[in-house]
Structures are given as structure tokens and as C-alpha cells.
Amino acid sequence: MTYIGIIITFVFINNFILTQFLGLCPFIGVSKNVESAVGMGFAVTFVMSIAALATWAIQNFILIPLNIEFLQTITFILMIAALVQFVEMFIQKSSPSLYKALGIYLPLITTNCAVLGIALIAVRSEYNAIESFVAGLAAGLGFLLAILLMSTIREKLDAEWVPRPLRGTPIAFITGGLMALAFMAFDKALLNNLIG
Amino acid sequence: MLKEFTKGFVKENPVFVLALGLCPALGVTSKVVNALGMGAGVIFVLLGSNIFVSALKNFIPEKVRIPAYIVIIASFVTIVEMVMEAFIPALFESLGVFVPLIVVNCVILGRAEAFANKNTVGASILDAIGMGLGFTFALIIIAFVREVLGAGTISLIPIGNWDGVISIPGLSKAPARVFSLAAGALLVMGYLKALFNWAEMKKAVAK
């Protein structure tokens, strides 16, 4: 698949949150206001694109040559945990202002299914190094798009009257459901029409 | 003791009340049988990780506890992956990427951090079984609603010649497909959670 194809696929057609059910915890938990949603979105995008590349390297330079692919789950999650830790330390040293903005979201990213999800999906789709990186970046941007839309809607929703049992997370889920319904318009046919 | 076991069902239900482990709760619940399989996998991993974390709580240094928990959890997930692939390949196939993703199920890490590292092995076993069953119970409810509305069937475990699928007359010919897709999953989850909140509120008023 071409790079543009991969980008359209992961941002719209297979949007991680709205069609693949990956990364729902932060989508519901961190979407109460736009500022934190954007912070989380960028932190996730950053980690996902590096994680996809790093796990590609592990898969092809360590696991396959040594014939220990059954250790995939353990090595990938350790890689991601180490990566998140490293990114946190690096940002803290190099850019305190960026750390201030993203810092509190970084530890949460280790257990975000979207990150391990893109690593596994990229390996299963047999992408090469650059394709893995682009897929990670695109999936992260898809996450950013969904959480940004969601937080904007939720900020507006705060001013509206909502029946008491639906307040908080239930209405967030229903909003997400309606967004997913809209995203159903993006399908394989769209991709074929756009890039033939 | 009994409280540790029953709290996971309703009062601290991991999915509906604590909102943990949402990805698998929606990702695998288009069929009841998938919910059962995922539930069994999570109960096994949760039991293993709670036992090991509570047994090793005095040996794991405070600073590296989270990576240590992740290694323990990932080891049990790898066991689940291998067993499922060997004995129930069809289920393994349809759960797909969600089997290795049990590693990042927040319910498991959450119980290790919030319960197992402060309590005895015995209490942790009860906690694991209770929470695991509560998680499975939530998945079955979501899957039941989604499968009945979205496909008009209820698929259970195949036994002998019976393929395990119950078709509901009328519904199975013209199901509302949207419920088996992502949009329907989020809507069902939202309304079920609202139902839970409503029941809690009624109980609070009655008291």
C-alpha cells in the first residue's frame, strides 16, 4: 500500500478509537477539556510513531533471527514501557515547557492499548520500517483527531441539560457512538476512489 | 472475606463502575462466545498476576514495581496466547489482536497496584476471581445485547454436533447490523452504564 493509502486508512477508515476500539480509556477519561485532550493526543502520536518503528526493529533484528517470536508480547510491552520512560526523561531535560504540557499524560500511555495495538498490527500487516513509522504516526493522528472532536463536544455538552443517570461517562459513550456512526462514511470505497 | 469476592459484580464492577478495560469490553463483544473466551483469559491472567504480585510484594523494590508487574502479567498473557492458539484456534482467530492486548487491560494492572500489593495471597485470589467474574459478567451483558440486536443470534460454546448458535426468529432475518459495529458498541455501553447509574440512584433514594 502507498504511504498516502496507509495514512488515509489509519486516520479515517480504521480510526483506532472509532472503528477499532483501541485507546478508549484515555478517549473517555482525558476528554473533559480541549487542552488536556490535545496534550494527550500529541503525546500518544509521538509515542506511537516511535513505538511502531522500535517494535519493527525488535521483530526483524531480534525475534525473527533468534526464532523467538512467541516472546513478542513481553518484549513489545517492555519496549513500550522503556520507551515511554525514556521519552519522559528526554523531554524533561530538553524542553521543560513541553514536559509541563505533556508530562502528566506520559505514564498513562504505557497502558494505552493503542500503542501496543499499532505495534502488533504493523507487524501482522508485514509493513517495512518506513511503513510502520507512517502507520504509527497516522494512527496517532487519528487518535488526536477523535479525542480533539470529543473534547470540543464535551465542553459544549457541559452547558446543556442532561438527564441525571446519563451525566458523565454514559453521555460521553453515546457521543462517541454517534461520532463512530459518522465515521462509517469513510470506508474502503473512499480509498479506492481517492487513490485508485 | 466474602466481600472481597462479591464486590466485583455490582458495587465495584470493573467495566460499568470503574470504567476499566474498556477496549476489550467493546472490541470483542459482537458475539457472546467471544465475551466468554475473553473473560476466561482475563480471569486466568488476573489470578496469576494477583497471586504472584501478592506473594512477591516484599521482594519487589518500590521504584521498579510497575515494570515488574508488567513482566508478570505479560508472562501469563503469553501462556494464554499459546494455550488458545493450540486448543481453540477458531476463538483465537476471532479475538485477534485483543488476546495479546490483555497485557494492557487496566483491570489487571489496576488490581495489582490497588489490591494485590497490599494484601495477602488468599485475599488476592478471592479479589482476582471476583473482579474477573465481574468483568466477564459485564462483557456477557454487552455481548448479549449487541448480538441479539445486531445479528439476531446468541452464540454459545459448540457442543458435539450442535454449533452453539441460537437464532432468534424474526430478528435473525433482519438484524440491526449497526449494533455489531463500533458505533453500536459505544451506544450500548453508554445506555448500559446509564442504566447502572439509574439503579444506583434509586437504591440511594430508597435508603
Q: What is the DSSP string of A87-124?
A: HHHHHHHH-HHHHHHHGGGHHHHTT-HHHHHHHHHHHH
Position A50 pLDDT exceeds 80: yes
Pick from B162, B131, B127: which is nearest to B33 by CA?
B162
The mean pLDDT value for A120-125 works out to 91
Which chain B positions have a beta carbon within 8 Å of A111's beta carbon?
104, 106, 109
Q: In chain B, which residues have pLDDT < 70?
A: 1
What pLDDT is attached to residue A26?
Answer: 84
Q: Output phi, psi for B154, to 5 deg.
A: -130, 110
**Residue B154: strand pairing partners:** B166
What pLDDT is attached to residue B66?
Answer: 83
Where would I find the beta strands (DSSP E) of chain B? 153-155, 165-167
> Which of B70, B81, B187 shows the shortest C-beta gap to A174?
B187
The mean pLDDT value for A120-143 works out to 93
Q: Is the pTM of this model over 0.90?
A: no
Q: Tell me the C-alpha distance between A7 and A185, whole Å.
A: 17
What pLDDT is attached to residue A136?
Answer: 94
Three-state secondary-structure class, residue B54: helix
Grid cell, residue A183, equals: 465515521
Pick from A134, A109, A114, A152: which is nearest to A16 by CA?
A114
- Portion 142-161 of A in contact with B at CB < 8 A: none
What pLDDT is attached to residue A1?
Answer: 64
Work out the angle at residue B146's Cα, subtended by the Cα atoms of residues B170 and B202, and round it to the nearest 5 degrees: 110
Percentage of chain A exceeding pLDDT 70: 96
Q: Tell me the C-alpha distance between A141 and A105, whole Å.
A: 16
Stretch (H or E) spanning B184: helix B182-206
Which chain A positions have a beta carbon within 8 Å of B76's beta carbon?
none
Q: Output phi, psi for B61, to 5 deg.
A: -65, 140
Q: Phi-psi bin for B68: left (phi > 0), alpha (psi -120 to 50), beta? A: alpha
Mean pLDDT across chain B: 88
The mean pLDDT value for A108-136 works out to 90
Least confident segment among A8-12, A98-102, B116-120: A98-102
Burial of A195: CB neighbours in 10 Å, binned 0-12, 13-18, 19+: exposed
Within 10 A of B90 (CB to CB), how many other CB atoms are there? 11
Q: Tell me the C-alpha distance between A133 and A119, whole Å.
A: 10
A59 and chain B in contact, CB less than 8 A: no
What pLDDT is attached to residue B205?
Answer: 87
Least confident segment among A15-29, A113-127, B33-47, B83-97: A15-29
What band does A121 get if pLDDT is binned at 50, 70 and 90? very high
What pLDDT is attached to residue B180?
Answer: 87
Q: How many CA atoms lie within 13 A of A19 on its CB side?
A: 17
Q: How many CA atoms lie within 13 A of A52 on its CB side?
A: 28
Grid cell, residue B165, equals: 448458535
Nearest CA in chain A to B202: A165
Pick from A192, A108, A147, A123: which is nearest to A11 by CA?
A147
What pLDDT is attached to residue A109?
Answer: 83
Q: Tell me the C-alpha distance between B143 and B90, whole Å.
A: 18
Grid cell, residue A69, equals: 517470536
Q: Tell me the C-alpha distance between B52 and B75, whole Å.
A: 11
Mean pLDDT across chain A: 87
Chain B nearest CA to A20, separation (Å): 7
What pLDDT is attached to residue A193?
Answer: 78
The mean pLDDT value for A92-102 works out to 78
Q: Which amino acid makes up residue A167?
A: R
Could you say which DSSP state residue A158 is in?
A: T
A133 vs B66, higher pLDDT = A133
Position A103 pLDDT exceeds 70: no
What pLDDT is attached to residue A187?
Answer: 80
Q: Tell me the C-alpha distance between A142 and A149, whole Å.
A: 11
Q: Phi-psi bin for A23: left (phi > 0), alpha (psi -120 to 50), beta? A: left
Q: Are B166 and B156 in contact (CB under 8 A)?
A: yes
Q: What is the dihedral of CA A132, A133, A138, A140, to 10 degrees?
A: 110
What pLDDT is attached to residue B138?
Answer: 92
Q: Phi-psi bin for A20: left (phi > 0), alpha (psi -120 to 50), beta? A: alpha
Nearest CA in chain B to A76: B74
Kindly indicate whether the ipTM for this predicted assembly is greater than 0.95, answering yes or no. no
> Which of B26, B183, B189 shows the shortest C-beta gap to A181?
B183
A29 and chain B in contact, CB less than 8 A: yes
What pLDDT is attached to residue B1?
Answer: 67
DSSP letter string over A46-97?
Answer: HHHHHHHHHHHHHIIIIIHHHT-GGGHHHHHHHHHHHHHHHHHHHHHHH-HH
